[in-house]
Structure 1
Amino acid sequence: MMDHVRDLASVREATERLLAAVAVLDNAAVAAPSRLPGWSRGHVLAHLARNADALVNVLEDRPMYADAATRDADIERDAPRSPADQLADLRNTADRFLHSAAAAPADWTRVITMRNGVTDVAARVPFRRWIEIELHHVDLGLDRELEDLSEEFTEREIDFLAERFAGNLTVPPLALSTPDGRSWRTGRTDGTPLPVTGPAPDLMGWLAGRRDGSALKSPDAPLPLLPPL
């Protein structure tokens, strides 16, 4: 069950961790490669700031981004900024998001439109922001790994990604599980599901495109190539 108030509290905590990690970076560290192919840490930080702006747009019933080209251009524009400018932008946009969420209309069940026409309920927007902060903090390659994320976050993110890939005709039927007995179904609904087992952080990392799945067990067939998120 979604609890946007609790998720907003988690967003605040994750934001403070991120800001503390970014506050010690120098010019060379910001310009260094992140774990995302083709992106520096500056790209990741710029994306996080612009994502906060975009989610404010969603909460206030405006298009998330003007268009894909503008989104990409804004990230490229902001990536080379100084550490001080990156930190200030991150802090200001995070505050703006939290203020907008606090002032949002009371109907958290209303349908909102995300990027590429994807729809969701307003109550999931705080969780979506939490995802952005936690995964991209790991992408920075600084002080945080997938194993450091809370069990609650990891399980909910697997739920979210399994739901996202459910019914996708390019993904074979999958039966995901952890050694402690948690399980998910995703992919196509036809045929016998391919069993994929492993620690929850590794399952999440594979579904989110952060790990190659080498830590997972799939005895019946090789792991499929998942479509990009």
Structure 2
Amino acid sequence: MTSDPLLLTGELDEAMARLLRTVSGFGPADVAAASLLPGWTRGHVLTHLARNADGFVNLLTAARTGEPIPMYASPQARSADIETGSGRPAADLLADLRDSAERFTAAVAAMPVEAWAATVQARRGPWPAAMLVWGRLREIEVHHVDLAAGYRPADWPDAFAQRLLHEVATGLAGNPAAPAMVLRFDGVRHELVVGDPEGAPTITGPAPELAAWLTGRSTGEVLTVTPDGPLPIPPEWI
């Protein structure tokens, strides 16, 4: 579970290739169909992914040049761009997705080593530039599932699923609204603890299913709770 942005680029390329294969089979009805995200069609999700790539290019450029370039011009501009682009033909959505991914790849390649140490102003606050490749990988893998086109959390590579699970669990550990629980991967002794483990339920299952449940991409039906009882209700993920 590396944090090195350059070592993650191979995983990112593979994730994007999987996404492009899915989208290349879409026709007009497919892009207009509902996604798993309330109020968004698949066209919304695909437009968001393209504009997200461009937003990350802005942040990479800020890290490289030292200029205070925001990820998006404004929250309103971000929403408007997604809404405007969501109704485009499937071929246009695919081309935009591919072209924006190529711009991101070029921006990563242009980064000098020292620029990865910068801090940039992401949508939710300051963020290390070294985390931008991971952030893009996370967007692609999670939103590929949101397309509701046959790609499921169980299809996530193990390294990605475990890193996502660790990241979400770490965030919950610092959230007073999160219920106490112990997360245990199937077949391993490793555990992640959220809150006070004394008396907290243990949730067991595959890492991808645990991550999917905590991020709202699964109801957790394949997970087990010890002692027997209902799953805790985690707070909304980002």
Is 1:66 aligned to 2:73, yes or no? yes
Please name the residue that 2:66 is paired with.
none
Q: Secondary structure at the match of 1:134?
A: helix
Q: How many angstroms apart in 2 are the aligned matches of 1:115 and 1:194?
A: 34
How large is the RMSD of aligned CA atoms in angstroms? Answer: 1.8
* CA positional deviation for 1:141: 1.7
Contact 1:42 1:78 in 2 (8 A): yes
Please name the residue that 1:39 is paired with.
40
Describe the superposition over 1:136-177 as per-residue Cα deviations: whole angstroms up to 9, x where unpaired.
Answer: 112112232111111111111111111222210111232111
Contact 1:170 1:227 in 2 (8 A): no
Pair 193,123 (structure 1): closer, same or farther in 2 beyond 3 Å? farther
Q: How many angstroms apart in 1 are the aligned matches of 2:108 and 2:173?
A: 29
Describe the superposition over 1:86-131 as per-residue Cα deviations: whole angstroms up to 9, x where unpaired.
Answer: 01110110000010011123222322222121x3322221111111
TM-score (norm 2): 0.88
Q: Give, as a single letter, the amino acid of the residue that structure 1 aligns with 2:81.
A: D
Please name the residue that 1:226 is paired with.
235
Is 1:83 aligned to 2:84, yes or no? no
Q: How many angstroms apart in 2 are the aligned matches of 1:170 and 1:113?
A: 26
Contact 1:173 1:190 in 2 (8 A): yes
Q: Secondary structure at the match of 1:71?
A: helix
Which stretch of structure 1 is more off in the superposition, 173-182 or 72-81? 173-182
* CA positional deviation for 1:43: 0.7
Q: How many angstroms apart in 2 are the aligned matches of 1:200 and 1:6?
A: 22
Contact 2:184 2:203 in 1 (8 A): yes
* CA positional deviation for 1:191: 6.3
Q: How many angstroms apart in 2 are the aligned matches of 1:35 and 1:156?
A: 22
Count of residue correspondences: 227
Q: Secondary structure at the match of 1:218?
A: strand
- Please, which of 197, 201, 213 is the counterpart of residue 204 of structure 2? 197
Pair 78,184 (structure 1): closer, same or farther in 2 beyond 3 Å? same
Please name the residue that 2:182 is paired with.
175
Is 1:109 aligned to 2:109, yes or no? no
Q: How many angstroms apart in 2 are the aligned matches of 1:144 and 1:19?
A: 12
TM-score (norm 1): 0.91
Pair 65,189 (structure 1): closer, same or farther in 2 beyond 3 Å? farther
Describe the superposition over 1:37-76 as per-residue Cα deviations: whole angstroms up to 9, x where unpaired.
Answer: 2211101100100110111111122211222222111111
Describe the superposition over 1:193-229 as per-residue Cα deviations: whole angstroms up to 9, x where unpaired.
Answer: 4422222121010111101223222335631242231
Contact 2:5 2:134 in 1 (8 A): yes
